[in-house]
Amino acid sequence: MSKIWIMIAKRLGLGVLTLFAISIIIFLATELLPGDLARSILGQSATEETVAAFQRELGLDQPAHVRYAQWLWGAVQGDFGTSLANRRPIADLIGTRLANTMFLAIYAAAIAVPLSLILGIMAALFRNTWFDRGANAVALSAISFPEFFVAYILIFVLAQSGLFPSMARIDSTTTFADALYKTFLPALTLTLVVTAHMMRMTRAAIINLLASPYIEMAQLKGMPPARIILVHALPNALAPIITVIALNLAYLITGVVVVEAVFVYPGLGQLMVDSVSKRDIPVVQAVALIFAAAYVLLNLLADVLATLSNPRLIHPK
């Protein structure tokens, strides 16, 4: 068990270094944006004295490395500063939006993960049949279409008919059942996008194990194919399946920008889009760092779970 803790410590250290590098990239990317931030906020009619005073208020008169150190130290403490658009603490803006994004991600994952596992197992069980070919064709089609195209197709088919709302507007007064109803279309969009990857990985991992000697022995003993896959093949195929599931769960959190913008969903993705249009740089930096942290943490979780599911990864010899 000590090897597992050593592996977790190494992954955590690597994750911290990765986040540090990403924070530098985020800060430099926003620094390289064209135009004067103070001038764009105050307008072209503002005097030089007003612009200079506003720059001092924002700390833009300080060197870039000083501003980066102050921003990073505040982010570590959970203080991302103040929004330039509405003068509210960014932590307050992010709190509700983060909860909404997590709700949508969990909603989509609750549909996508069981569905992909079932379809992947059935495709492996009935491989080279019409079901296997049909499932792979649908999966490849879903992978080929971008998120916004899938979203607009669902809006055209399901929202225009009046079955579901085309805009997923929820707030603190929305009940849980009403939230499930209003966010069904964005959740279905995310489900269709990520299910294909998980289903195909599940199918490939199981089929790859079916040629193993212990599987052939189980077949010679006359075990039913379903029992062979569920009892013998699936547990040994968990490592790659867990990895692809974790990566897709990371996408559900970090890749919702387009989907939230299409359905006007009040999550972190929509907040980032609005902040970019308003040149609210501190909010953009905070949301980007949160997305990066979520992706790194889910990758760490995938490594740990994949290792625990396969003892050979702990004891390679």
Question: Rounded to 5 degrees, what are φ and ψ at 210?
Answer: -65, -15
Q: Are 30 and 281 in contact (CB under 8 A)?
A: yes
Distance CA(235)–CA(97), nearest Å, equals 37
249 and 207, same domain (yes or no): yes
107 and 210, same domain (yes or no): yes
15 and 163, same domain (yes or no): no
pLDDT score at 302: 79
115: in domain: yes
Q: Which residue has the higher pLDDT, 241 or 310?
A: 241
65 and 100, same domain (yes or no): no
Structural domain boundaries enclosing 62: 2-76
- Nearest of 109, 262, 110, 100 to residue 170 by alpha carbon: 100
22 and 51, same domain (yes or no): yes
pLDDT score at 39: 65
258 and 168, same domain (yes or no): yes
Q: Are 286 and 75 in contact (CB under 8 A)?
A: yes
* Kind plus residue range of the DSSP H or E element containing 277: helix 268-277
The CATH number given to whatever domain includes residue 161 is 1.10.3720.10
205 and 60, same domain (yes or no): no
84: in domain: no
pLDDT score at 311: 60
Q: How many domains does the chain have?
A: 2
Residue 82 pairs in a beta bridge with 89
Please report which confidence band the pLDDT of residue 46 belongs to, taking 50, 70 and 90 as the band edges: low
166 and 278, same domain (yes or no): yes
Least confident range of 50-54, 75-79, 161-165, 292-296: 50-54
Helix and strand totals (H; E) in the chain: 17, 0
Mean of per-residue pLDDT scores for the chain: 81
Reported as half-sphere exposure (CB side, CA atoms, 13 A), residue 104 has a value of 35
Percent of the chain scoring above 70 in pLDDT: 89
195: in domain: yes
Tens-place pLDDT, residues 169-222: 888 788 888 889 988 999 998 888 888 888 888 888 888 877 777 777 877 777
pLDDT score at 58: 67
Tens-place pLDDT, residues 91-114: 888 888 888 888 998 999 899 889
Average of per-residue pLDDT across 35-46: 65
82: in domain: no
| Domain stop point among 76, 100, 118 | 76
Listed in order, strand segments (DSSP E) in the chain are none
| Domain stop point among 47, 76, 105 | 76
157: in domain: yes
Helices within the chain (DSSP H only): 2-31, 37-42, 48-58, 64-76, 90-125, 130-144, 147-154, 176-182, 184-209, 213-220, 225-227, 234-236, 238-254, 257-263, 268-277, 281-309, 311-314
178 and 56, same domain (yes or no): no
| Domain stop point among 36, 51, 76 | 76
